[in-house]
Amino acid sequence: MASTIRGTKVAKSTKSSKKKVAKKKASVKKEAKISDKQREEEAEVAKLAKTFKKTNFDLVIVESPSKATTLKKYLGKDFEVLASKGHIKDLPKSKLGVDVEGSFDLEIVPIPGKKAIIDRIKIVAKAANNIYLAPDPDREGEAIAFHLAEEIKRPKHTKRVLFNAITKKNILEAINNPTELNAHKYDSQKTRRILDRLVGYKISPILWDKVQRGLSAGRVQSVALRMVVDREDEVTKFVPEQSFSIHAKIKKNDMDVESQYFAEKGQKNEELKDEKRVSFLLKELENKKFTIEDIKKKERRQSPTPPFTTAKLQQEAATKLGFSAQRTMSIAQKLYEGIKLKDDGPSGLITYMRTDSVRVDPQAISDVRDYIKRSYGEEYLPETPNMYQKKSQTQVKAQDAHEAIRPTNLDFLPAKIKADLSDDEYKLYSLIWNKFIASQMSQAILEQTTVMFNAEGYLFKTTGSLIKFAGFRTVYLESLMEKKQNQDEESSFSFLGERILPPLELGEVFSAIEKPLSREHWTSPPPRFSEATLVKDLDENGIGRPSTYAAIISNLQDRNYVQKLENRFRPTDLGTLVCQMLVKSFPSILDVEFTANIENQLDQIENGEISWKKVLKSFYGPFEKTLEKAKEEMKNLKKMQIPSGIDCRKCEKGEYLVKWGRNGQFLACSEYPECKSSEDFKRIPDGKIEIVEKEYTKEKCPTCSKRMIVKSGRYGRFFACEDYPNCKTALPYTIDVACPKCKKGKFAEKKGRFKLFYGCSTYPECDNAVWDYPVAQDCPECHYPVVCKKTSKKIGDYLQCPECKFKIIS
């Protein structure tokens, strides 16, 4: 027995050592790659310092290499264009970097890995006649511009230029009309950065101490988490209410007309909540004649909506295309910076994609009106341009710095350049294009008809609509209208769930084609947030700014505070607990109005209306006192043990206690360490704890030959030995599909930053991976032995080859 135990320990130790060695090798390999890259860059810079002889040129510095390529095309040989590749300087990672005891001065240092980029820019800038700083025209871009100016140290020859769109006209106009660096905008960015650093660096360590290491709190992220947790609380506490409706059908001209009970004649609309009343009415209504007592027709006009703001683009892309906010912004960035077109070279296709404005350049309005008249006809063009205003007249100037999101050139029709775009780029560009065209088109005209039937003293009502002129709806429907219309097409309805009616006249009498029927209805809880509705609520409540929504949602998922199930966000146990603790200890930080007010103050700083240091002082004084109180009073979950009332399954003495571990809550025997029994659990609707039965696999533990259990951890599902903690063997959660690249491993389920993916179980030896669920089936086109399950709104479920992209549609 002893030798067996010793042997097990040796095996475990050997396996553990192998894992550590493999991990260390991977880490060393990664560091070596970084070091090699840095050495190459430094060698290039050293070579550039010796060989750069160019004179009589101007330098333009942008953020991204793709934007640099597009600008170079328009500016020609008299300009050099370099990319900073984002921020070059920031607060240090290892310390706070903010003088909270004095004047809130920042310690801004070069970002690790950016030395070669900074040196390259300094070498070229030294020889240039003029330097044009052209990072993005927002707060972050202004900060980058300031940091570049600090490193270049040529203030008399350095100018700021702003591109709202990457087109020849905009670029040359900006270069010919440079501006100065905007200190107020930079102050606003500094304030935002300091506030985020203070909240993150001061609150996160408390969570590490009280809950677990690796947790984080964010100034805006935590408020967004609270919104998700509060909504889940509403859903959980919701008590549905029952109601009824009564429906009758008549027929005219082979068309069924359904009408709904309204009230007894002379009474107001009756709400049916009593089952006895419904039964009485159903008996009363049998064999009644339905006479048309009233017909009202009303013409309705529906106006188009403005072009996209950032928030609206994220919402519509989520609803119509299924894109996450992160994905939408990433694609929009590429469309803005420039796509290489076959006939035109690198071209910026849309205006700047971070904006709260619905304003459009007058020339662009003139161009789109010409396009509408030419493409659709005069009846689709309103007499005067459609002008739009922001939802709130009190919004400050900072949010109206850029136009709405629109195409830069109406010659670039989506269909014309489709071959030059990826599928995602084409979908998003088409969405932006159609929205902009529709925004300047005529109203849709609908005729709404309301018919009241008198069933011998009982009134029934039906409504219907007919689209007399489609107007802007020819080109674009809001996602809500589109959803309604799609539902209506399936059920012979037309606009917003109302029926198309046959010709009806006053006094006509009908018999019901079947007995009137009742339908039972239950009120629904408020829906959990989808990506689109969370962005909408963040926007409407003034939480963060549209440009930050993608990062906020990403962080919540990365930290395992929320998870997306059936396209809806639900808080995890960890997220709920962290939120509850933060709300109790930091009520103002987690308050929606307080956070929205901070955003307004950042806008005021940008407009020069308030001092940035004044904002920081008013924030930090109360915050510091709250911090000290939280350190003392916040409950320590690491030490908490809550009785569950469930007896231990392994020993006779113990009771399971609810404890908090690295991956969340679990049940552990009260007799630990004598009894090491532990179980996963869930809470059923009435709040009671229920043990989750273990899911066993077919495979045996390679170390001790016992059964393997499916478990969930921070990085997704995995296989673990049932004899844990005596045997700590763990394996990736594999699918029975062999890796076609190395032919040794199997595809293993892994949790990426944004979604699950499937990689070879032998990683890092084999780095083969696919994003979608793999199936062992030959591709009919290229004979690759694996295809992946995919789904889309247009074609539903299908299979696609990860190699040649061939689709198999059943």
Which residues are known to be catalytic?
Answer: 352
Place of tokens 């889309």: 792
State how far the Cα of 439 lies from the Cα of 444, in Å rounded to an integer: 12
Alpha-carbon dihedral sign for residues 338, 340, 342, 343: positive
Do residues 419 and 277 make contact, with C-beta atoms less than 8 angstroms apart?
no
Looking at residue 711, its amino acid is K
Do residues 393 and 436 make contact, with C-beta atoms less than 8 angstroms apart?
no
Do residues 328 and 547 make contact, with C-beta atoms less than 8 angstroms apart?
no
Nearest to 408 by CA among 335, 346, 351: 351
Do residues 701 and 707 make contact, with C-beta atoms less than 8 angstroms apart?
yes
Give residue 633's region: left, alpha or beta (phi > 0; psi -120 to 50). Answer: alpha
Alpha-carbon dihedral sign for residues 70, 72, 75, 81: positive
Do residues 592 and 603 make contact, with C-beta atoms less than 8 angstroms apart?
no
Q: Please enumerate in sequence order all residues whose Cβ is within 8 A of that of 792, keeping only pairs 6 or more positions apart, or say none.
A: 798
State how far the Cα of 124 lies from the Cα of 128, in Å rounded to an integer: 6
Pairing of strands 158-160, 131-133: parallel
Looking at residue 13, its amino acid is S
- Could you tell me the CA-to-CA distances from 580 to 230, 246, 587 in Å, in that order? 10, 45, 10
Do residues 469 and 375 make contact, with C-beta atoms less than 8 angstroms apart?
no
Q: Give the count of beta carbons closer than 10 Å to the beta carbon of residue 36.
A: 10
Burial profile 387-423: b = 16 or more Cβ within 10 angstroms, e = fewer? ebeeeeeebeebbebbbbbbbbbbebebeebeebbee
Report which DSSP code applies to 650.
S
State how far the Cα of 289 lies from the Cα of 407, in Å rounded to an integer: 58
Nearest to 175 by CA among 130, 207, 142: 130
Helical H segments across 465-572, by residue range: 479-490, 531-540, 546-558
Do residues 403 and 361 make contact, with C-beta atoms less than 8 angstroms apart?
yes
